[in-house]
Structure 1
Amino acid sequence: MKKKLFSIGIVLMMFSCSTNDSLEIQNQEQKDLLSKAEINSVIKKSIETKGDFKWSEQNVNIIWSALKHGNNLLTIGYGNSKTNYQRSSTSQNIKNEILALVTSIEKTASKGKSEIFADKNINVIDLKVKNKETIIALLNDKRVRYIEPADYSFFNSEQQDQQRSSSSGGSGCGYSQLTLNSNDYRTISPGARVPWAFDAHKIPQAWDYSTGSGVTVAIIDSGLSPEQKWMNQYFNDGYSSGRTVQKYGTFVDSWWAWSNNYDGVNDKCGHGTKMAAVATAPRNNDNLPVGVAYNANLVTYRAVENVLINDYHEKRGVAEALTALGNRSDVKVISMSIGSPFSIGRVEDAVKYAYNRGKMILAAGGTSTSFTTWYGVIFPASMNETVAVSGVKEGQYSNCDVCHSGSKIDFTIQMQRRNGTDNKIPVLSYYNGKENYVGGSSVATATTAGIAALVWAKHPGWSRAQVLQKMKESSDFYPNTHSEYGYGNIDALKAVQ
């Protein structure tokens, strides 16, 4: 009996010690856990001092804290070198080895239990990770190119709602429609409206040489409105003929990271529709704004909810759209009037994937809202592989009221009037047959994408480098660059002559 009581006592002591140890660990974790405000302060400081922020340059506790605020979802970029982002048989073996490593530390039943998503084109996986020890091991593993808290959102839901409402009718979401000021356009045959900014860049004169025929422009954004028939069933109308429009979706609208239910192709923001229209809207007799490359083919991707690449499914959606477009031989130009204040590893990999397949990727330099005024040139416009575009005021090199500038900018587009109205560029609205104005670096990017299509259509055998060089030579500051505005405003007529 004494032996039995003694044994029970030992068990109780062991249980008590185990419980105490567990409580100590939990208490220590609570002390170590940084708040979102503290993490965001680190991010902001890095952007302000270095111009960017990278998770892999941070200490273990910052990464772990962000992971805790992001559903414990970790993105791992792997490979046999820092530049090995493309999937191969070798990288498949590395992926399996990393899964085994994570499984051994996390004590999960099998390596498949940790895996949430594995990209088919680039060396990226998303895993469920809870322990600091796992983060330490991955940071010290030469097979790991980077790690990032996949579902950490720099902006909260309230700020994203503000982004939608404050940008309505401008550079962000919005379904509004406005009657255009007659001074902001002129009418050409067979009855199309040419936005004032097109004349400022001699786009109508360029149409004597090229209208974009045979070139496919891709828009990665919030999708395409099913309500605007001129961007759907009547995409071929009037002087626009023999072209195609295709719609895809890579955005998952779900709180759950493991959901793979794509949200479809339809725009639920309005931004993507306006960008597609600026670049490719038809030239017809309905007294509506025409697009820059009105005979180009169009491919749209619903990859984000709004202009910010912020949550996990948006990061993944953009990367999937880029790699899919990279695999298409017909796509020449990819326009991205969206972005993030700092780098996203998987999107960076996907940009390089598409770039190395000859695509010209144009990206918005940045458009401020009430809570993003301190950003410089945003990601991915900050990458060397993208063509960064921003907006300036009519007839002067002065930032539009909300546009970003900096040494990373390649080109500018005049998109804000100074005639007392401050109107932006006229464009098709979300709803059928309606018009609106759109501004910011977003519309500047889509306009430049259209000009690139005009040049490529004139010279279909040219490489991206040749098209880009012609665009540079046709800009105000060439052969020099401006410290804030790159090569400056493009003369579309020179670019196609």
Structure 2
Amino acid sequence: MKSTYIIAACLLFSSCTKTETRFQVFRNPSTVIPKADINNFVEEQLKQHEYFDWKMAGDTMTWSALIQSDSVLSIGYQPAGVRDLDKKIHTIDFKSAAWKEARADILALVRKNEQSDVTQIVFKEGSLPMINVKVSQFATLKALRASPLVRYAEPIGYGAYMDDTKKSDLEAASSILSSGCGYNVPKTDLVTNIDYTPILPGAKASWNYDYHRINQAWAKSSGQNVTIMLIDTGVSDAQENLGNAFNQGLSSGRSIQKLVTFSGASVNDECGHGTSMAGVIAAPRGIDGNTAGIAYNSNLITVHAAENVVILSSAAINGVTNAYVLGADDPSVKIISMSMGTIFSSGQIKDALSYAFNKQKLMFCAAGTSTSFFASFVGVIFPANQPQVIAVTGIKDNLTDRCGPCHVGSKVDFVIVMEKTSTGRNPLSTAMSGDVPSTVGGSSVATASCAAIAALVWSKYPAYPKDSIVARLTRSASNAYNRSSKFGWGVINAEAAVGI
């Protein structure tokens, strides 16, 4: 990314203040800050602060990002005087007079500055105080960001268009929206008792299960009566073990439900990532020779929320937002796992996280895996860097080194062993079709694995609140009494976490 986003020496940026001073004189909508300069500014903020929020950028830069993307502005609103909304967002009646008036005032402000009688609302509104509108005028953005009714006003689609090496925005969007897809294929070179252990009645246990004492934990819990929601790219229609063969062998009496929140998509996984994560979490311990998921008796809800593992497009951000709300509103869901992320903080996803957290959902997110998009960024990505979620990353089987592309940092809570030092082999999972397992790596598999271990624990202690489940995970981990600045509480011992 660094080479892609390099800028001319005469336009180097050292701080937010200097950047905005450089462009302060250009106050009309006809002057646009180039993508390369915006990207460089984003990268500098990530290096300095380990996160990026559009509030770090001034009006001119934010507007420039907006009109060089899909022009969709995400606006979080509230009545004047409201405080600490994140703590009570799950209890507020957004259809009450005060909230409806605030929304109406926002739309009136947009119409006035856009000089149009029509406000183009993009995506269906839900249970959160936010709205997506098409905005083209600089005056609109400036007025919104200055309004006491506005909590955030963000160009949520910019990430999908930020590749300035492409000739057109459409080409940039199509190139960057293929990240993390296409790898979920059967591995025909797996070796018995090296890459997996045969287990009854006719399944395979991944090689890394021994490091977390999964087999020993299974003697006490297999995840029964716990529902996990997986937010990802859907599940392959062709994989029967995540379909009509979900109950087989030692997996019985459970359900799999497939939903979609990504606009225009079906529940089917065309990427491969969602199928892989679903297999890690809850693939059946069956009779067909396929791999067994860690929580092989848990219920699973899969949500097709985005096109790939990097949450960049407006449709993906809305898909993820709505998926968290779905999980929050479903009383059967205890755990939400998402192995996707981005370098851009999103106000509306933060709203959704607060909404789900306040409804007592235990959420796990991937700390980050260095795809081409994340190449210059080191640290825990969004939303794993948020306080409402448990951040997970991967570690090698030497128990000291992170996996090759895995992100680490102070926001990491737990690590999962998921890469062999000698061969680079990753854990087993479920391929797009058939009974020959695939393999999957990165912080993605670590996150799904950690969520599944939590399901084993919660199944054993169904009356416990989520904080008690996290406490049991923490006490079982390798760094329980000396938290690491890179690996958090360390490697979880599932047998110890489940207990006697």
Structure 2 length-normalised TM: 0.88
**Native 8 Å contact 1:82 1:145 kept in 2:** no
Tell me how far 1:97 sits from its aligned partner: 1.2
Tell me how far 1:175 sits from its aligned partner: 3.8
Greater shift, 362-371 or 154-163, is seen at 154-163
Pairing 1:16-35 to 2, within 5 Å after superposition: 29-30=29-30, 32-35=31-34
What residue is the counterpart of 2:51 in the other structure?
A: 52
Within 2, Cα distance between the matches of 1:493 and 1:421?
Answer: 27
Match for 2:187: what amino acid? L
Structure 1 residues 125, 163: closer, same or farther in 2, change over 3 A? closer
Match for 1:51: what amino acid? E
**Native 8 Å contact 1:337 1:441 kept in 2:** yes
Match for 1:434: what amino acid? V
SS in 1 for 2:302: strand
For residues 48-79 of structure 1, what are the alpha-carbon distances to aligned partners after superposition, in whole Å with 9 as ceiling and x for unaligned? 11111111232110111011112322110111
Within 2, Cα distance between the matches of 1:347 and 1:173?
Answer: 26
SS in 1 for 2:300: strand
SS in 1 for 2:122: strand
What residue is the counterpart of 1:181 in the other structure?
A: 191
1:444 to 446, 453, 456: 446
Within 2, Cα distance between the matches of 1:79 and 1:195?
Answer: 49
Gaps of 5+ in 1: 1-25, 253-261
Is 1:377–2:380 an aligned residue pair? yes
Pairing 1:58-137 to 2, within 5 Å after superposition: 58-80=57-79, 81=82, 83-84=84-85, 86=89, 88=94, 89=96, 90-110=98-118, 113-117=119-123, 119-137=125-143
Pairing 1:302-317 to 2, within 5 Å after superposition: 302-317=304-319
Pairing 1:250-399 to 2, within 5 Å after superposition: 250-252=261-263, 262-375=264-377, 376-399=379-402
Tell me how far 1:361 sits from its aligned partner: 0.6
Match for 2:293: what amino acid? G
**Native 8 Å contact 2:122 2:133 kept in 1:** yes
Tell me how far 1:373 sits from its aligned partner: 2.6
Is 1:151–2:157 an aligned residue pair? yes
Gaps of 5+ in 2: 1-25, 164-170
Tell me how far 1:114 sits from its aligned partner: 3.2
Q: Which has the larger radius of gyration?
A: 1
Tell me how far 1:231 sits from its aligned partner: 0.8
Number of aligned residues: 455
Tell me how far 1:162 sits from its aligned partner: 6.9
1:470 to 451, 460, 472: 472
SS in 2 for 1:77: strand
**Native 8 Å contact 1:164 1:174 kept in 2:** no
Within 2, Cα distance between the matches of 1:28 and 1:291?
Answer: 56
What residue is the counterpart of 2:407 in the other structure?
A: 404
Tell me how far 1:116 sits from its aligned partner: 2.5
Match for 1:96: what amino acid? A
What residue is the counterpart of 2:484 in the other structure?
A: 482
What residue is the counterpart of 2:229 in the other structure?
A: 218
Match for 1:449: what amino acid? A
Within 2, Cα distance between the matches of 1:70 and 1:458?
Answer: 48
Structure 1 residues 91, 359: closer, same or farther in 2, change over 3 A? same
For residues 374-427 of structure 1, what are the alpha-carbon distances to aligned partners after superposition, in whole Å with 9 as ceiling and x for unaligned? 221100000000100000000322110110000000000000012x32100011
**Native 8 Å contact 2:235 2:274 kept in 1:** yes
Tell me how far 1:158 sits from its aligned partner: 5.5
Tell me how far 1:27 sits from its aligned partner: 11
Within 1, Cα distance between the matches of 2:99 and 2:241?
Answer: 45
Tell me how far 1:117 sits from its aligned partner: 3.6
Within 1, Cα distance between the matches of 2:326 and 2:393?
Answer: 26
Is 1:246–2:246 an aligned residue pair? no
Structure 1 residues 92, 162: closer, same or farther in 2, change over 3 A? closer
**Native 8 Å contact 2:184 2:439 kept in 1:** no
**Native 8 Å contact 1:193 1:289 kept in 2:** yes
**Native 8 Å contact 1:451 1:492 kept in 2:** yes
Within 1, Cα distance between the matches of 2:352 and 2:333?
Answer: 15
**Native 8 Å contact 2:76 2:151 kept in 1:** yes
Structure 1 length-normalised TM: 0.88
For residues 185-241 of structure 1, what are the alpha-carbon distances to aligned partners after superposition, in whole Å with 9 as ceiling and x for unaligned? 111111211111111100110011110000001110000011110111010000000
Within 1, Cα distance between the matches of 2:64 and 2:173?
Answer: 21
Within 1, Cα distance between the matches of 2:174 and 2:440?
Answer: 19
**Native 8 Å contact 1:108 1:114 kept in 2:** no
Match for 2:46: what amino acid? I
Instruction: Give the alignment's Cα RMSD to 1 decimal.
Output: 1.9
Greater shift, 353-362 or 81-90, is seen at 81-90
Greater shift, 229-238 or 474-483, is seen at 474-483
What residue is the counterpart of 2:426 in the other structure?
A: 424
For residues 432-476 of structure 1, what are the alpha-carbon distances to aligned partners after superposition, in whole Å with 9 as ceiling and x for unaligned? 223111000000000001000000000001111010111001101
Structure 1 residues 481, 127: closer, same or farther in 2, change over 3 A? same
1:206 to 204, 217, 236: 217
Within 2, Cα distance between the matches of 1:140 and 1:235?
Answer: 52
Structure 1 residues 294, 160: closer, same or farther in 2, change over 3 A? farther
Structure 1 residues 173, 164: closer, same or farther in 2, change over 3 A? farther
Within 2, Cα distance between the matches of 1:48 and 1:495?
Answer: 36
Within 1, Cα distance between the matches of 2:173 and 2:67?
Answer: 21
Structure 1 residues 144, 187: closer, same or farther in 2, change over 3 A? same
What residue is the counterpart of 1:259 in the other structure?
A: none
Match for 2:375: what amino acid? T
